[in-house]
Amino acid sequence: MNLFRHRGAQHLRAVSKSCKRFNSSGPVPSAMPQPKKERRGFLRTGGLFLLGSILGAAYVSVKVGGNPPEFLFPLSSTSRLRDLRPPAYGDAEEALKELTDLLGPSKVSRTRTTLDDHSDTFFSTHHAEPDQRPVAVVYPENTEEVSAILKVCHKRKVPVVPFSGGTSLEGHFIPTRKGICIDLGKMNKILELHKDDLDVVVQPAVGWEDLRDYLDDYNLMFGPDPGPGACIGGMIGTSCSGTNAARYGTMRENVVGVTVVLADGTVVKTKKRPKKSSAGYNLTGLFIGSEGTLGIVTEATLKLHVKPRYENVLVVAFASLADAANTVAEMVQRAIPANAIELLDENMMHYVNFSGETSSKYDELPTLMLKLGGDSKESTQHVTRAVEQICRQHNRKSFRFAESEEEKFELWNARKVALWSTINYGKQTIDEDIQVWTTDVAVPISRLCQSLQETKDEISKAGLSASIVGHVGDGNYHAVILFKKDQHEVAKKLVQGMIDRALLAEGTVTGEHGVGYGKRDYLVEEAGENAIDLMRKIKMALDPNRILNPDKIFRVDPRDVGSH
């Protein structure tokens, strides 16, 4: 298991340009005395020469500089990539000398192993190039040290990449511009718990599993529950969710406020602790899903929930994928209060059985795993009976539910080991050097069945082994594709097809993994050029030197291949 928790990285480019607005207002000049006739020709010639010089300079500025000169033209509301100048980055070695003096040698590492671990990870869909390694990794312990680091890097124009759990899948922490990696691992404390207010204040390297265990003692829970090893900082960066999304939502619904350090070292607290506020812009929402490109989160106030008094786990096998998907659609349309609705196809159930990661054996059929809960045993039983009736109408083949807390954990564990089971299967039966491409999309529930089936059919026709698994209660599903190194293009084509289908269904190219480096082009297809240009404008306003996790989400360097 430790092999698959190997931390990694990738990284690319960034770009910007800044300016000042010309204020054309002012007093109207009084009428000038009429020049004598004999001087008019000279003045007219001189005036034309001066005007020509100004216009000529403006023309050169437009052609050479990219953006129109702002003293002649108003600023735009968006930033097009082609209008930017390439970023000019400074000497990371000089910045490192200053950072070492500032933090002390014990908080700086340059070992090869450390640099590799902060550049790539086995299960990422996009891998770092050999020269994409940070110059060094630094380890701050608090917000003040993060601020001091960014002040140095901003002053010297040195790229920085934040790092917490290292479990992201889309190349989020590849150091495409080398620079400095800021490992937040020492900032792993739960700072304050407000039980009566149902919120908790944590640092970014707190693992969600550690937070879950801590909250258990208070009969509380945090809604999002992604894959093993994920930390709060990265979860905020990608706006992830997990198996509980159908009931509790994504990070966007579960983060009350954050303390964030901007590119120049400025520290901002986006919001106080009330769950609702109409005071000003939604700055908290701005940083959720920004993947470290706008600022580095150093503290977060998280919304908590009281754990259901009673909760049951159901495992239901179906004759076909369509039967399982249609069951989900009916549950959603009938407002069945499920805490989690997970789908695993027959391949995934085979991989789980094969890997032996759980003590139970499962029917190797398309399977729904459900969490149903309530305030009383009677209400939970009532919901369970309603779900069983729906499943029976959709050709269910088996129906199991937990009899004890231990069995509940064991049944649900099959979902949590899905990724590792798939990788183990690939290594043992296909190739020791098996590659894995894990990607996700989300579609409206009404389009879920068709999208799932077409994705599965296309993978089958391509001759690759893969599994389908998803948080289908909100239309989000994943494909875990196994391939040999010489089959990379085949896998890439399958991912493109999956994304194309999601967009045709008015869905999204990523439900919870984030964009990172791997889905930049797909994001353009979903959001459109104007939306990307608006995002870039925000980026340029907050990070004019383009040092914060450059090249993620969208391009910031006009020399980068691609239009956006």
H helix and E strand count, the chain: 18, 18
pLDDT at residue 62 greater than cutoff 80: no
Contact at 8 Å (CB) between 520 and 293? no
pLDDT at residue 31 greater than cutoff 80: no
Residue 181: the pLDDT is 98
Is residue 556 one of the residues assigned to a domain?
A: no
Q: Are residue 281 and residue 313 in the same domain, yes or no?
A: no
In percent, how much of the chain has pLDDT > 90?
A: 79
Is residue 550 one of the residues assigned to a domain?
A: no
Residue 161: the pLDDT is 98
Place of tokens 């216009």: 55
Q: Are residue 315 and residue 264 in the same domain, yes or no?
A: no
Q: Are residue 345 and residue 227 in the same domain, yes or no?
A: no
Distances (CA, A) of 345 to 365, 404, 448, 504: 6, 26, 14, 23
Query: How, if at all, do strands 180-183 and 136-138 pair?
Result: parallel
Is residue 72 one of the residues assigned to a domain?
A: yes
Helix or strand holding residue 10 (H, E):
none
Residue 466: name the closest of 444, 434, 496 by CA.
434
Q: Are residue 128 and residue 192 in the same domain, yes or no?
A: yes
Distances (CA, A) of 327 to 331, 334, 445, 454: 6, 11, 11, 18
Tens-place pLDDT, residues 329-360: 999 999 999 999 999 999 999 999 999 988 88
CATH value at residue 444: 3.40.462.10
Contact at 8 Å (CB) between 367 and 349? yes
Mean pLDDT of the chain: 88
Place of tokens 């080398």: 178
| Domain C-terminal end among 254, 279, 306 | 306
Q: Are residue 234 and residue 343 in the same domain, yes or no?
A: no
| E-only strand ranges, 73-166 | 108-109, 136-138, 160-163
| Domain C-terminal end among 306, 336, 354 | 306
Is residue 32 one of the residues assigned to a domain?
A: no
In percent, how much of the chain has pLDDT > 70?
A: 86
Residue 67: the pLDDT is 55
Is residue 115 one of the residues assigned to a domain?
A: yes
SS3 label, residue 306: strand
Place of tokens 């139970």: 360
Map 367-419 to HEC letters. Answer: EEEEEEEECCHHHHHHHHHHHHHHHHHCCEEEEEECCCHHHHHHHHHHHHCHH
pLDDT at residue 61 greater than cutoff 50: no
CATH value at residue 276: 3.30.465.10
pLDDT at residue 75 greater than cutoff 90: no
Q: pLDDT-derived band of residue 562, with 50, 70 and 90 as boundaries?
A: low
User: What would the mean pLDDT of 536-556 be, rounded to a whole number?
Assistant: 97
* Exposure string over 379-401, b if 16+ CB within 10 A, otherwise e: bbeebbeebeebbeebebeeebb
Residue 56: the pLDDT is 52
Angle between helices 488-504 and 520-527 (to 10 degrees): 20
User: What would the mean pLDDT of 494-514 be, rounded to a whole number?
Assistant: 97
User: What would the mean pLDDT of 258-276 be, rounded to a whole number?
Assistant: 97
Is residue 191 one of the residues assigned to a domain?
A: yes
Is residue 528 one of the residues assigned to a domain?
A: no
Residue 564: the pLDDT is 58
Q: Are residue 130 and residue 257 in the same domain, yes or no?
A: yes
Q: Are residue 60 and residue 196 in the same domain, yes or no?
A: no
Is residue 291 one of the residues assigned to a domain?
A: yes
Q: Are residue 7 and residue 152 in the same domain, yes or no?
A: yes
Residue 52: the pLDDT is 52
Total domain count, the chain: 3
Q: Are residue 247 and residue 333 in the same domain, yes or no?
A: no
Domain range enclosing 146: 1-17+84-306
Q: Are residue 254 and residue 321 in the same domain, yes or no?
A: no
Query: How, if at all, do strands 180-183 and 160-163 pair?
Result: parallel
Q: What is the pTM of this model?
A: 0.85
Q: Are residue 132 and residue 56 in the same domain, yes or no?
A: no
pLDDT at residue 223 greater than cutoff 80: yes
| Domain C-terminal end among 260, 278, 306 | 306
Query: What token pair was written down for 271?
Result: 């919001």
Residue 563: the pLDDT is 56
pLDDT at residue 412 greater than cutoff 90: no
What percent of the chain is helix, strand and coil (3-state, nearest 5)?
Answer: 40, 20, 40
- Angstrom distance (rounded) from CA 266 to CA 243: 36
Residue 291, CB-side half-sphere exposure with 13 Å CA sphere: 27
Residue 60: the pLDDT is 47
- Angstrom distance (rounded) from CA 251 to CA 504: 26
Q: Are residue 298 and residue 378 in the same domain, yes or no?
A: no
